[in-house]
Structure 1
Amino acid sequence: MTVSAVVPPRHRAGLSVRRGAAWFAAVSVLAMTCLAQVSAHAQSPRAPKPRITTPAPAYVSYLTREGDTLYDIAGHYLRAPGDWAVLSRLNDMPAPRRMPAGIALRLPADRLKQDPESARVIATSGPVEHAFGKNPYLPVKPGTTLGEGDRIRTGPDGFVTLELPDGSHVTIAQEGELDIGRLRRTTLTGAADRVLELRRGAVESQVTRATKKDDRFQIRSPSVVAGVRGTRFKVAYDGDAQTTAVEVLDGAVGVDPGAAAHRAGPPPGVPLQASVQLVKARFGNITRAGEAIGEPVELLPAPALTQPAKVQDGETVAFDLVPAERAVAYRVQIARDADQLDLIRELRVSAPHADFGNLADGTYFVRIAAIDGHGLEGMPQVYGFERRRLGLAASAAQRAGSRDYEFRWFVSRAAGETRFRFVLAASADLRHPIVDRTDLSGGQFVVSDLPAGVYYWTIIAEQFENGRFYETSSSIRSFTLAR
């Protein structure tokens, strides 16, 4: 027999409420326990609670002048006249036609108008070309102006130096490619924004000191972004090895990744100390594309010339360097100016000797630097030198039917007065001359009644011009007189 308990409706309702209350209490205890566990876990030092931060928007302040309107302010200092609505919302202000002087308004930094600027070519040598966008390349000459979108390339022994509006200089070495990415100045603040894209080769920059917090100067390669606030530094990109070398001569350079995800580099206003690597003066680093930024390496000290005061009067212009410790190669450059803005020749040599071949007469400057095993170019040394081709040709022959011996000579450079010295001796070292005649003005000398024997002689040419003394001599030659 089955017995069923029948519960009146009101009692069923009371039972249901009591069961629900019990279930709610159990769930509440379980939830509180879970929350306590989560809270304890969040407070554990091993698993810090993640913090999500949103960068605060950047603004610049503008103080109104009598009669200003939001329309005028947007038209003068923002990208579009319609941005007056942004100003209205940002400053919680309607758009009156005129405002009194002295009202402080906030303007969004990312909407500030920028005016395009141009770079001027101040020196070129050898093959240098430029193209705008996808247009064909055209030759570059001093005085040419370049701007955003211009691409520049140099050939063998091709060099070009650009001067920016603030007096900064950028020199592109031979076999290089550089694009002008950004060349602008913010209308309201006057901050300069300069971004150069190095595609190939080397570029040296002499950047004037930044005067505004938002000034930006960057050299970007496929592997790094090098930013400065005023310094002298070099960036060289090797496309085959996909490496970028940064060498800092003065100041400091912030180096950041140049991969596509980080291509923009730090925005204007971010201090150099925030860069992945801060490379200081007399240091450099090398970074391979896609890898971590290289650690700073101290640059080699500047080498020296063996004969710094030598007049380059030979067939070719050549320099001998004092071998530098830890150097595996040397960079030798010739320029028309001491600052090396007007470069004309460049050699990388493995031995401490560089021969540039012939060069027109004049005053030049040679810069030498040692290269270490990392491939970093060290600190440079600059010397002035004189190229003066004072060629001297000489000959000698016995006069027919006599015991006279006639010597003749001439110089290839007839500028100014030339005096000559003739030396004749019985030994090749000319230590004990038989004849030593100075202050000769002509190109001929005769020696008579020489006894039989072997003789050695030379002629020395001397010129004094523009306060400097120049001297060159012929090779020591010999002849034999028979009885």
Structure 2
Amino acid sequence: MGVCCLTTAPSLVAEDFTYVVRPGDNPWTLTERYLKSFNYWPRVQDYNNILDPTAIRPGTKLLIPVGWMRGVAAVAQVTDLRGGAELRRGANITPLKLGLTISVGDVVRTGPGSTLTLEFPDGSRSLVGPDSELRMADLARLRASAGQQVHIELQRGQLENDVSSIRKGSGRFVIETPAAVAAVRGTRFRVTSSSQEVRSETLHGEVVLQNPAGKAILRAGNGSLAQLGKTPARPIALLPGPKLDHLPARVERVPLDLEFPALPGALSYRTQLAPSAGFSVVVDDQISTAPRARSAADLPDGRYRLRVRAIDRHGLEGLDAEREIEVDACPEPPLPSQPAADGIVVVDNPEFRWAGSGEGAHYRFQLANDAAFGSLLLDADQLEEPHLTLTKPLPPGQYFWRVALHTTSEGQGPFSDAQRFRRPPPGPLPEPPRIGSDTLELRWRAGTDGSYQVQISSDATFAQPQVDRQTSEVMLSVDKPPAGVHYVRVRAVQAGKPPGAWGKPQQVEIPHDYWRALSILIPALLILAL
């Protein structure tokens, strides 16, 4: 119970070749020149109701079934190939290579993710999808004309076909599957088949999807599906191509994950990438339930033709939307580590760090005060180590930094994602302290709401502060430290936020109290003298 996909021309439905009689022609001479056997001449006479075979007028049109006609063997050629495929010719199986010819009886298999293009003598082309298997059942040119006879047995997989226009009655292009037969003339169409169902989508031309239960005429922009033993579905309008105008012309990250407007009625979307507009091979083929153009993570750098189409609830794939896109994602940018995104930097000369790469690479570092890096504050190239420390103090403000990797083999790759950080204003500056007989009183001007952290240390690095207190007041009274030089610093602290920057350390000198020492020493000496 085959399903037949045919153009609406009556000559193609009957698979007849139209021959225009020339002077001197008769059934015997026609049979000898163009038919498979001389025994066909009575059939030609009967098929055309010829009463007097010796008196056929020139210009008379005779119909001859194509199956009776003699052909000249032809071959198809593999004009493009991506991935692994194999050719079985008789008992021999060999890897398929670019430029090889495919003859009648040959079997072609593509592997996962592999595609290839077969080109026929008249310029027709078939794009063979991944995980497909086909057999070239017939490929010939009719002796009576330039009409091409193509018969492909597609055991599994998908074919996208661009069939050259063929003169009426002179050729055919047939794709036979376990559940369907598609025969067309001068059209672009897709056929996806399994053992139980066939789906057909017509992009240009007109196709008839037919089986013993009925038929559906599919004009351009329509599709249908047919199951074994059931009437083909009425023509269904294919979904339009998605809008891709806003997608970037250049991307620096893979896998691709580019959002576009959703289409009503779409359940999923297919994204294909090819190295050229002709789509003679597909280098990447992804299906997503979200309206996003996606790719594999290992997509190489290069210029591609991006093709996206929507898929409806019947599984019919809609019209194509295409555009050019450039991928420049290698070498991958280093991973920034310090300062972290949205971090706070309190030191005057920040240090920037990122993940290191292998030998033979260097880095390019950029610092700006805007996310677009339109106003660069620093552009340092040829950095051999994965870190950089600013030599000049960085004023308070908001900043962005990024880094790129440069290798000998791939040149400079894209920059990392911009890392934003903030340099807050310095903390409160202590006023001159009040040094009492037993206490040290510190004061500073109020800043933001919250509390303050105060540290007193005998060394300028504050490695081991002697005092580390927190207070909600703008003053702090502590026991007077020992005599000598001390350092004081203050910073603001707000609940739920990182601490602010330390204010500039202030040096405080605690004088020696000689009178107190004498008041203790003299009585002791008097006691010893008694």
- TM-score range relative to shorter protein: 0.5 to 0.7
Q: Is the 8 A contact 1:316 1:357 kept in 2?
A: yes
Aligned to 1:20: none
Do the aligned partners of 1:191 and 1:212 also contact (CA within 8 Å) in 2? Answer: no
Q: Is 1:357 equivalent to 2:293 in the alignment? A: no
SS in 2 for 1:386: strand
Moved more, 121-130 or 166-175: 121-130
Distance 1:384 1:247, change over 3 A: same
**SS of aligned partner of 2:250:** coil
What is the match of residue 497 of structure 2? none
CA distance in 1, matches of 2:314, 2:113: 25
CA shift in 2, pair 1:86/1:201, >3 Å? closer
Which is bigger in relative contact order (C-alpha 8 A, separation at least 6)? 2
Aligned residue number for residue 238 of structure 1? 194
1:20-31 to 2 correspondences below 5 Å:
none
Distance 2:413 2:201 in 1: 39
Q: CA deviation at 1:280?
A: 0.5
Shift of 1:395: 6.5
Is residue 87 of structure 2 the alignment partner of residue 130 of structure 1? yes
Query: Aligned pair in 2 of structure 1 residues 456, 158: CA closer, same or farther (>3 Å)?
Result: same
Residues 319 and 70 (structure 1 numbering): CA distance in 2 closer, same or farther, change over 3 Å?
same
**What SS class does the counterpart of residue 343 from structure 1 fall into?**
coil
Q: Among all aligned residue pairs of Structure 1 and Structure 2, give the percentage whose two residues are the same amino acid.
A: 27
Q: Helix, strand or coil for the counterpart of 1:143?
A: coil
2:162, 2:187 within 8 Å by CA — same for their partners in 1?
yes
Matched with 2:177 is 221
Flag the structure with higher helix content.
Answer: 1
1:458 match: 401
Measure, in 2, the Cα distance between the counterparts of 1:126 and 1:374. 30
Residues 1:333 and 1:77: Cα distance change in structure 2 (over 3 Å): same
Provide the secondary structure at the position in 2 that maps to 1:276. strand
User: Where does residue 172 of structure 1 map in the other structure?
Assistant: 128
Once residues 105 and 333 of structure 1 are traced to their aligned partners in structure 2, the CA distance between those partners, rounded to angstroms, is 47
CA distance in 1, matches of 2:188, 2:372: 52
Equivalence for 2:333? 392
Which residue of 2 is the match for residue 118 of structure 1?
75
Cα pair distance change 1:122/1:411, threshold 3 Å:
farther
RMSD of Structure 2 on Structure 1 (CA): 4.4
Q: State the match for 1:316 in structure 2.
A: 255
Gaps of 5+ in 1: 1-54, 95-101, 263-274, 413-417, 464-468
Structure 2 residue identity aligned to 1:341: S
Deviation at 1:222, TM superposition (A): 3.0
Paired position in structure 2 for 1:7: none
Paired residues for 1:84-233 under 5 Å: 111-132=68-89, 135-233=91-189
Structure 1 match to 2:316: 376
Is the contact between residue 123 and residue 160 of structure 1 (CA under 8 Å) also seen in structure 2?
A: yes
C-alpha contact 1:234 1:248 (8 A) present in aligned 2: yes
- TM-score in terms of structure 2 length: 0.61
* Cα pair distance change 1:329/1:460, threshold 3 Å: same
Distance 1:210 1:438, change over 3 A: farther
CA distance in 2, matches of 1:169, 1:300: 24
Rate the CA distance shift 1:446–1:70 in 2: closer, same or farther, 3 A: same
1:447 and 2:394 correspond:
no
How many Å apart are 1:472 and its aligned residue? 3.5
Taking the aligned partners of 1:460 and 1:201, their CA distance within structure 2 comes to: 45
Q: Give distance in 2, aligned partners of 1:451 and 1:190.
A: 79
The offset of 1:155, in angstroms, is 2.0
Amino acid at match of 1:231: T
Match of 2:232 among 258, 282, 293: 293
Residue 212 of structure 1 and its aligned partner are, at CA, apart by 3.5
In 1, distance between residues paired with 2:399 and 2:186? 62
SS at the partner of 1:392?
coil
Task: Summarize the alignment of residues 29-40 of structure 1 with structure 2, pairs less than 5 Å apart.
Answer: none
CA-to-partner distance for each residue in 1:296-347, whole Å, 9 max, x for gaps? 1000011133742242211433332321111001111111111211211111
Q: Which deviates more, 82-91 or 168-177?
A: 82-91
Distance of 2:18 and 2:422 partners within structure 1: 89
1:476 partnered with 2:406: no
Q: Which amino acid aligns with 1:385?
A: I
What is the CA–CA distance in structure 2 between the aligned matches of 1:294 and 1:153, rounded to whole Å? 31
SS of residue paired to 2:169 = coil
Aligned equivalents of 2:278 and 2:191: distance in 1?
A: 17
Contact kept? 1:392, 1:411, Cα under 8 Å: no
Q: Which moved more, 1:312-321 or 1:71-80?
A: 71-80
Alpha-carbon shift at residue 117 of structure 1 (Å): 1.2
Is the aligned partner of 1:253 residue 2:207? yes
Indicate the larger mover: 377-386 or 177-186. 177-186
**In structure 2, do the counterparts of structure 1 residues 306 and 188 end up closer, same or farther at CA, with 3 Å as the change threshold?**
closer
Per-residue deviation, 1:107: 9.6
State the 1:224 CA deviation.
2.9
> 2: CA distance between counterparts of 1:479 and 1:76?
89
Check if 1:334 corresponds to 2:273.
yes
TM-score by length of 1: 0.66
Q: Structure 1 residues 196 and 458 mapped into 2: Cα distance closer, same or farther (>3 Å)?
A: same
Deviation, 1:85, is 9.5
Cα distance, 1:155–1:453 mapped onto 2, change above 3 Å: same
What is the alpha-carbon distance in structure 1 between the residues aligned to residue 391 and residue 18 of structure 2?
Answer: 96
Conserved 8 A contact 1:178-1:198: yes
